[in-house]
Structure 1
Amino acid sequence: MSTKIDKIDRLGELSAAKQDEHGVSLWTEAFRRVRRSPSALVGVGILVVFVVVAIVGPWLVPYSPSEMMGLNQVRPGSIPGPSAEHWLGYDHNGRDQFSRLVVGARQTLLVGIISTLIGLTVGALIGGIAGASAGLGGRIGRAVDSVLMRIVDMLLALPSLLLAVSIAALLGAGLTTVMIAVGVVSVPIFARLLRSAMVAQAGSDYVLAATSLGVKRTKIAIAHILPNSLAPVIVQATLTLATAIIEAAALSFLGLGNPDSSTPEWGMMLSEAQQYLDVRPGLAIFPALGIIITALGFTLLGEAMREALDPKLRK
């Protein structure tokens, strides 16, 4: 009798457990995995600090980043260092280095986000058309896919920094030029990634079922294949933000960024500091650390998201 009761209790527990089980979406499951990832939490912490500093910092800095208050204290072989009033000292023009570093975070974030959005938008457009054409189209679709991918292959054949420098040199120095140049460099990455994801999704059972029901190919591509192919693209956008910040800093370092030094940007600050490394190495160390730590935050978060969304890499 007790054995039967035990069996009934176990069956009741299993039934209750099944009732408590709920199906979760891919993004919900990925979010749970990201929350349990130490590297993702570190990356998010870095990015939260960076974004807060970039948004709020310019209103909280103690001095104007363009005010040359200490110019009379700067000598050919001497630049005043940190003090109680100026935490990171002056730069070579007598401006408060801490204020310039904080305000420069906004420009760096702006360049990274806009350039990534440019690459994502144009790349997703090219990759979406190519993926839909290759996965669902006949002879014309394959021809469209082939032409678009050959253009993308030509862009991929060029080193990214060389391509960005070439575009920036053609358009002239400026912050907008840097955004466009870095954005164009990331276009083929997004295009290739989305196209590959859509081609893989085109062979899924739900596409076959929709085709059998008579749903138009265009509707299948836009309403079903495209949304299910965006996960790797979003992850790549997070990783590209880190690369965009580094490449934008490199262009500014080469003198192709904003020529107006009154508006600070970390790459431009590095470029200006190279002449004073023997006098004040801190002028280069602090903006370099800002670029490195910010890029690390985006990379850690992006890698954690990639592992959470990729079944082969899930732990």
Structure 2
Amino acid sequence: MSAKTDKIDRLAELTAGHDLSGKGAGLWTEAFRRLRRSPMAIIGATIIIVFVILAIVGPFIAPHSPTALTWGDEVSPARSEFVGPRAGNILGLDHLGRDEFSRLLIGARQSLMVGVIATGIGFIIGAVIGGISGAAMGLGGKVGKSIDNAIMRFIDMMLALPSLLLALSIAAVLGPSLTSVMIAVGTVQIPIFARLLRGSMIAQSHGDYVLAAEALGVRRRRIVLAHIVPNSLGPIIVQATLSLATAIIEAAALSFLGLGNPDSAAPEWGVMLAQSQRYLSDAIELAVYPAGAIIITALGFTLLGESIREALDPKLRK
């Protein structure tokens, strides 16, 4: 049986895109080479790298405290008196006299944290649910089909609800907090990952290496766990990159609606956008800065995710 399983392992590697002669490159290596030649991938990766660096070092390089009302006496929203960019405040002051640049920098860390954790919640739970459903289908039998049907009908119910409405409902029930936002946004992404992994596993189950393994007498459970599951992870890894963009936008939307951090003084792009809407006619830049940060960051993750998907999918390669 050891010789048989070795043959299956080698066949599975070949199907996954690896050259067993040792001279070629694997699927991900070839994809990386194509990404290096893609302007869209380079732009997306550059935006993400800059965003991550600023999120990490932001609190250390911020010139001022993001919550200190240091220049509060210089602004007066009631009299339409605002302070724009100047020496010492390169993006000016907000409606309470706080440094806008410092708030924007520190807000990047919170947006990154919420996006990564929310996507992680959706990825892990969705992968577990989709993996169970796909494995049940792969094992076959009435019991397997019954398990798959039960799981997928629940997933279909979640998909039937608009994502933002579902996230809004969950966050409202849990109460305003960053934890609520992360759970709400992560929950919305669970059915996406579950459906994607299940579909990928079903497609992989019809591969030549699966038929060869069955012909050699390898147990179905071993085929599912050792080969079908690992070869099915590519699409959901790509989806995770795309979901980060969605997570950042939805988290900002929930914070904009007042369901994020209950401390309104804490810098967060969604909160900054919500606070600026009353002063659009007098200081539109207060809305442009956080909105631009959200759009550019989401664009970076979207560009990179689409480039990875194109590099991995033969139908989309140029």
* TM-score above 0.5, yes or no: yes
Give the superposition deviation at 1:215: 2.8
Q: Which residue of 2 aligns with 1:181?
A: 184
Q: Which residue of 2 aligns with 1:38?
A: 39
**Aligned partners of 2:22 and 2:124: how far apart in 1?**
38
Q: Secondary structure at the match of 1:311?
A: coil
Cα deviation 1:226-259 (Å, max 9, x = unaligned): 1100111100110111111111111111111111
Q: Which has the larger radius of gyration?
A: 1
Structure 1 residues 21 and 167: alpha-carbon distance in aligned structure 2, compared to 1, 3 A threshold:
closer
Pair 1:49-2:44 in alignment: no
Aligned letter for 1:60? Answer: I
**Aligned partners of 1:267 and 1:213: how far apart in 2?**
57
Q: Secondary structure at the match of 2:262?
A: coil
**Aligned partners of 1:66 and 1:216: how far apart in 2?**
61
Name the % identity. Answer: 64
Q: Which runs of 5+ in 1 are unaligned?
A: 1-19
Cα deviation 1:73-128 (Å, max 9, x = unaligned): 12122121111011111111211100000000000111111000000011101100
Q: Verify the 8 A CA contact 1:136 1:202 in the aligned structure 2.
A: no
Cα deviation 1:37-84 (Å, max 9, x = unaligned): 110000011111111100011101110111110111121221211110
Q: Which residue of 1 aligns with 2:8?
A: none
Aligned residues: 296
Q: Which runs of 5+ in 2 are unaligned?
A: 1-20
Could you list the structure 1 runs, at least 4 aligned residues long, displaced by more than 6 angstroms after superposition: none
**Aligned partners of 2:279 and 2:260: how far apart in 1?**
20
Q: Secondary structure at the match of 1:312?
A: coil
Aligned letter for 2:54? Answer: V
Q: Which residue of 2 aligns with 1:6?
A: none
Pair 1:83-2:86 in alignment: yes
Aligned letter for 1:49? Answer: V
Q: Which residue of 2 aligns with 1:107?
A: 110
**Aligned partners of 1:197 and 1:45: how far apart in 2?**
30
Give the superposition deviation at 1:221: 1.3
Q: Which residue of 2 aligns with 1:285?
A: 288
Q: Secondary structure at the match of 1:313?
A: coil
Give the superposition deviation at 1:22: 1.8
Pair 1:156-2:159 in alignment: yes
Q: Which residue of 2 aligns with 1:267?
A: 270
Give the superposition deviation at 1:21: 8.7
**Aligned partners of 1:133 and 1:160: how far apart in 2?**
27
Question: Which of 118, 123, 129 in structure 2 is aligned with 1:120?
Answer: 123
**Aligned partners of 1:21 and 1:168: how far apart in 2?**
51
Aligned letter for 1:26? Answer: L
**Aligned partners of 2:31 and 2:217: how far apart in 1?**
33
Pair 1:301-2:285 in alignment: no
Give the superposition deviation at 1:209: 2.3
Point out the more displaced range, 201-210 or 155-164.
201-210
**Aligned partners of 1:273 and 1:214: how far apart in 2?**
66
Give the superposition deviation at 1:208: 2.0
Give the superposition deviation at 1:148: 0.4
Q: Verify the 8 A CA contact 1:135 1:199 in the aligned structure 2.
A: yes
Aligned letter for 1:66? Answer: T
Q: Which residue of 2 aligns with 1:225?
A: 228
Q: Which residue of 2 aligns with 1:214?
A: 217
